[in-house]
């Protein structure tokens, strides 16, 4: 099972994280339009990620949601018939939330940099660093935080799922 070190931060629309990524030498990988459907499971998180024009993956992951920089273990299973798996899992487990986002993807020294615009939430910057040794991953995370000027108070502890769930369950004034 793969392991990532992850961090997510809120950014203002004018922050132009994409320009910072390019000026740091990150390679632009494309724009992804993703719909993540989260299912109600006892532990961890299970989602079906559908990408416009690229098929779908069923992704299960476990991570400590309390830390700023989080280690995440995950399994990614390509889906040949995403509509059938969506229907089956919806009936079997129930849907918790649907997260829609546009992601500008960059690659930097093995890390993935995501410049995300999430429907209903706004703009975020996310780093995913595949495990290649704990100290190496943590050093690269420090480097990325410095490049983008990410301060501790900007780091988002909650997943997009949690943020949207909180937003839809809080009473409107």
pLDDT single digits (tens) 4-18 = 999 999 998 767 888
pTM: 0.90
Question: What CA–CA distance (Å, rounded) separates 56 from 76?
Answer: 10
- Mind listing the domains of the chain with CATH numbers? 3-169 (2.40.320.10)
> What percent of the chain is predicted at pLDDT more than 70?
97
pLDDT digits (tens, 9 = 90+) for 68-125: 788 999 999 999 899 999 999 999 999 999 999 999 999 999 999 999 999 999 999 9
Q: How confident is the model at residue 67 (pLDDT cuts 50, 70, 90)?
A: confident
Predicted confidence at residue 70, as pLDDT, reads 87
- Determine the average pLDDT of the residues in 26-41: 97
With a cut of 80, say whether residue 150 has pLDDT above it: yes
Which residues have C-beta within 8 Å of that of residue 46, sequence separation ≥ 6?
Answer: 38, 39, 58, 59, 60, 89, 93
Question: What CA–CA distance (Å, rounded) separates 49 from 52?
Answer: 10
């Amino acid at each position: 099972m793969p392991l990532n070190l992850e961090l997510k931060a809120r950014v203002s629309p004018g922050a132009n994280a994409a320009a910072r990524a390019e000026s740091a030498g990150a390679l632009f990988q494309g724009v992804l339009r993703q719909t993540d459907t989260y299912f109600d499971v006892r532990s961890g998180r299970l989602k079906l990620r559908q990408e416009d024009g690229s098929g779908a993956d069923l992704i299960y992951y476990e991570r400590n949601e309390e830390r700023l920089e989080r280690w995440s273990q995950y399994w990614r299973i390509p889906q040949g018939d995403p509509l059938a798996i969506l229907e089956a899992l919806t009936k079997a487990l129930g849907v918790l939330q649907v997260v829609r986002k546009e992601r500008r993807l960059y690659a930097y020294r093995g890390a993935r940099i995501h410049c995300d615009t999430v429907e209903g939430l706004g703009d975020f910057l996310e780093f995913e660093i595949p495990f290649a040794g704990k100290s190496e991953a943590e050093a690269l995370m420090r480097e990325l935080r410095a490049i983008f000027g990410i301060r501790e108070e900007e780091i988002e502890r909650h997943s997009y799922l949690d943020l949207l769930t909180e937003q839809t369950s809080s009473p409107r004034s």
